Structure 1
Amino acid sequence: MEFTLKSIQDAHEKYTGPDFPKLFKAFKDMGMISNEVNIQHGTSVYTNTNDQTITAEGVKVSHPIADTSNTDEVKDILKRHQAGQTEFPTFCEEMAQAGIYKWYIDINDGTCSYIDLKQQTIVSEQIPQ
């Protein structure tokens, strides 16, 4: 799989919520090393092993990001989304209300970290591979 915007978009269409580990694998197969999703600005930045980046328009939340993050709420939102109970735009809105403005996927470490406005990692999860 090539590291192109089209390949990335195709992978996002194919794999959602419960299929996140498959999306992660597709990203890895493209040579991607990281993905940063910023729901406050509505951008996603993808970086590959050659330090090439692709910036794409993503979901921009309509609610302001909560000033205070809530770890238990973030974990509950993640659990419901990973079980397929919410669509991605709803997931993003709920994360904003729980104080998360971006998440960072480290492909090499196999982690996804959810970050608040104070630049603190609120939840970091290992991605099943």
Structure 2
Amino acid sequence: MSAPITNLQAAQRDAIMNRPAVNGFPHLAETLRRAGVRTNTWWLPAMQSLYETDYGPVLDQGVPLIDGVAEVPAFDRTALVTALRADQAGQTSFREFAAAAWRAGVLRYVVDLENRTCTYFGLHDQTYMEHYAAVEPSGGAPTS
């Protein structure tokens, strides 16, 4: 296995084992950032993810959310924010969050780990961006 894949998978394992159930995403993101991941782009509903890392790019193809042909939902910021808050509260799995984001019209989203932002994209340049907290990956208090 290549160095980029080995490094990414080790960071993902560490992050998943140590992240809290509530507000776990910032801990996952910080663990990945410290492992050299700079951006992470997800394409919905394909569940395809590109990690741009210091070691090289890594593509991960997950199980798609849909099979066959589907209409693209309209971008619904309110539904997206509802999905985000449910995920942040630990009420959904990642796959459930991704499905809710897709139903809210999200075609892709980009996590910028350096600037601690997630930007969600729908059709026709529709976007929604959130900042997430800086944290210590071990579950400590927020940092600057």
TM-score by length of 2: 0.76
In the superposition, relative to structure 1, how do residues 12 and 102 fare at CA in structure 2: closer, same or farther (>3 Å)?
Answer: farther
In the superposition, relative to structure 1, how do residues 118 and 58 fare at CA in structure 2: closer, same or farther (>3 Å)?
Answer: farther
Q: Percent of counterpart pairs with the same letter?
A: 23
- Aligned match of 2:10: 7
In the superposition, relative to structure 1, how do residues 110 and 60 fare at CA in structure 2: closer, same or farther (>3 Å)?
Answer: same
Q: How do residues 1-129 of structure 1 correspond to structure 2 at under 5 angstroms? A: 3=4, 4-11=7-14, 13-14=16-17, 15=19, 18-49=23-54, 52-62=56-66, 64=70, 66-121=72-127, 123-129=128-134
Q: Which has the larger radius of gyration?
A: 2
Q: Alpha carbon RMSD of aligned pairs, Å? A: 2.3
Query: What SS is found at the alignment partner of 2:24?
Result: helix
In the superposition, relative to structure 1, how do residues 65 and 111 fare at CA in structure 2: closer, same or farther (>3 Å)?
Answer: farther
Deviation at 1:37, TM superposition (A): 1.1
Query: What SS is found at the alignment partner of 1:113?
Result: strand
In the superposition, relative to structure 1, how do residues 94 and 70 fare at CA in structure 2: closer, same or farther (>3 Å)?
Answer: same
More strand by share: 1
**Segments ≥4 residues shifted beyond 6 Å:** none
Deviation at 1:79, TM superposition (A): 0.5
How many corresponding residue pairs? 126
Structure 2 gaps of 5+ residues are 135-144
Deviation per CA, 1:24-63: give whole Å up to 9, x if none. Answer: 110111111100011222211001236x100012352128
In the superposition, relative to structure 1, how do residues 7 and 83 fare at CA in structure 2: closer, same or farther (>3 Å)?
Answer: same
Counterpart AA for 1:55: L
